[in-house]
Amino acid sequence: KLEITGGSDLTGRAMRPELDGSAIKSVLTTAGTGYKGKRYVKKNGRVYRYKYDGLRKRRRLRGNVISQDTRQINLKIVESGNRSLDAIFGLVEEPDTVEEPSGEEE
């Protein structure tokens, strides 16, 4: 079993888990998915990066529903099955199962 943890659309816009639907929405957000919450300040010819408490910014983010515009889906494995992931993705060759011939032959 797999659990969807996020994703992005064709422009790289992040899918925010608390936004319903698949549309793009303009949201005032704090640091989290889709916004790192940093402010760059130039002082004395150098650039400093600050993380202020309560820093918020309006960002255009996509909802949590997969649509035709979705290009990447992030998944987490919740339960593993009989086959290993290496065998599923073709990294390790699986031994072929030999079928026993049945009594009917032509």
27 located within any domain: yes
Per-residue pLDDT at 1: 87
Cα(9)–Cα(35) distance, integer angstroms:
15
Domain count along the chain: 1
CA distance 27 to 56: 10
Query: What pLDDT score was predicted for residue 97?
Result: 64
pLDDT of residue 53: 85
pLDDT in tens, the chain (106 residues): 888 888 999 999 999 888 899 899 999 988 888 888 888 999 999 999 988 888 898 999 999 899 999 999 999 999 988 888 888 888 877 666 656 666 665 5
Domain assignment of residue 88, yes or no: no
In a domain, 94, yes or no: no
